[in-house]
Amino acid sequence: MNTIGHLINGTTTANDSRQQEVMNPSTSAVIAKVALASRATVEDAIAAAEAAYPAWRDTPPIKRARILFRFKELLETNADKICELITREHGKVLGDAMGELQRGIENVEYACGIPELLKGEHSRNVGPGIDAWSEFQPLGVCAGITPFNFPAMVPLWMWPMAIACGNTFVLKPSERAPSSALFIAQLGLEAGIPAGVLNLVNGDKEAVDTLLTDQRIQAVSFVGSTPVAEYVYRTGTASGKRVQAFGGAKNHAVIMPDADLDSAANALMGAAYGSCGERCMAISVAVAVGDAVADALIGKLKAHIAKLKVGDGMDNNNDMGPLISRAHLEKIRSYIAKGIEEGAELVVDGRDLKVTGFEDGNFLGACLFDKVKEGMTIHRDEIFGPVLCVMRVRTLQEAMEIINAHEYGNGTCIFTRDGEAARYFSDNIKVGMVGINVPLPVPVAYHSFGGWKRSLFGDLHAYGPDSVRFYTKRKAVTQRWPASGLREGAQFNFPSND
């Protein structure tokens, strides 16, 4: 059986004593083993990245960009293979995997503009014969730790920009869906990234803890669940590192009485059930303003759900694949039971779904709850599955109070034809990414991505302009070349232009 290993200093290795099984979630068959890096293995990767740093830092940005242009081409020519790797381990439908990869490629395209993005700020004559500028220097060795649900895209949020800025990198992908990130890293080396500049270690907590505490690592980007994000942020910053840690979510969509309900229902189907609800930007709560809206919306959603095709992700005719693991399926089933117990009304129950030929897969049909209230477990927790909760409120204000009081603040959206309501909503909602008639407001690659509240620990958002700042440090230089030479005698007052 194939063992998925590490990529250290340009060489693939898998010598660790610990391994874990990688499963196909459509069948529960073991399809590979993944090596779990020991501390020593991770330290080898860090050492390789540190050794490669001085030469890479001094490589002109335009040359770094040329490698990324070649890398982008390789991603495109290998897209089908990458999507198969994603689907086989994650379960999402191939077309959805292609969407994920395309979003990742857009981050590479943005990083190709690095000579422009790294331009500093310059001021001439800040004093007599004195010029000042700010430049943005790389940090050194950076690390990325990524989740299972976007196994190709989230690593591409991180390392292309980090290395474009002149850093070297150690990536630790999810051990549950490791193959696509490794294959993509190998394509990076094929495109011309020098050995040691990009390294990848597979592993679990032992690998993460090594990255968080090793003094050679300067910065850590993390994406995953909120408890781990908080742990990564606290441990990494206590160890003196720059850290951005993106966590979980509970994303609400507000449906106003004047909304185009057909469009809203269509949009909600994709946003709630696409990728089996395993997206940090999935809409998991629909807040209907008025009972009439709620009743009509539920009617439309039920009709759509009845037509939803659930099955193996390798069959692109399906809309929704399986959940990542049996344990995750059981966790979601227990949330559904809890929702019923706490008084919500399960109007569509997907628990009895059987997929012919895939009886051992982790399949769950779409579920729809009505009359969900604040305080219920299914409203409080991120379920991360195909479960959409409908809440009924009387006013937009009431909807916004529910959203603003929630511990998460990743994404939200409003469906309306009223520009004033939309503007009021986007101005006052305490959420990092807002959609207006757009259900999944994931920013494009040249804007930055990030939630508020307990959806993000740290300041700078992912990818886009913020990532250039995250992966560089500012240096301000003040320079004087007086015509008369530098020996003017000592000056004791604080220098100014007065």
The site for ligand NAD (CB under 6 A) is made up of 145-150, 172, 174-175, 204-205, 208, 223-225, 228, 231, 246-249, 280, 382, 384, 410, 451, 455
**What type of residue sits at position 462?**
A
Q: Which residues of 48-73 are buried (b: 16+ CB within 10 A; e: fewer)?
A: bbbebbeebeeeebeebbebbeebbe
Number of residue whose CB is nearest ligand NAD: 224
Phi, psi (5° rounding) for residue 189?
A: -70, -40
Phi, psi (5° rounding) for residue 487?
A: -90, 90
Output the six-digit token pair for 287.
């807040």
Residue 182 C-beta: closest distance to ligand NAD, Å: 13
> Is 112 assigned a catalytic role?
no
User: Which one, 175 or 312, has the nearer CB to ligand NAD?
Assistant: 175
Options 83, 112, 280, 413, the catalytic residue: 280
Residue 245 C-beta: closest distance to ligand NAD, Å: 9
User: Which one, 43 or 260, has the nearer CB to ligand NAD?
Assistant: 43
User: Which one, 153 or 296, has the nearer CB to ligand NAD?
Assistant: 153
Residue 424 C-beta: closest distance to ligand NAD, Å: 26
| Helix ranges restricted to H, 58-137 | 61-77, 79-90, 94-111, 114-117
Residue 122 C-beta: closest distance to ligand NAD, Å: 35
Angle subtended by helix axes 419-428 and 396-405, to nearest 10: 20
User: Which one, 136 or 273, has the nearer CB to ligand NAD?
Assistant: 273
Contact assessment for residue 241 and residue 221, using Cβ atoms and an 8 Å cutoff = no
User: Which one, 111 or 223, has the nearer CB to ligand NAD?
Assistant: 223
Residue 413 C-beta: closest distance to ligand NAD, Å: 16
Output the six-digit token pair for 229.
């994000």
DSSP string, 445-466: TTS-B--EETTEESSS-BSHHH
Residue 259 C-beta: closest distance to ligand NAD, Å: 26
Query: CA nearest 150: which of 16, 278, 50, 291?
Result: 278
Q: How far apart are the C-alpha atoms of 382 and 226, rounded to whole Å?
A: 10
For residue 133, list its beta bridge partners: 122, 477
Output the six-digit token pair for 22.
């990688």
In angstroms, the Cα distances linking 419 to 1, 268, 286, 423, 424 are 58, 20, 20, 6, 9
User: Which one, 27 or 226, has the nearer CB to ligand NAD?
Assistant: 226
Q: Which residues are catalytic?
A: 280
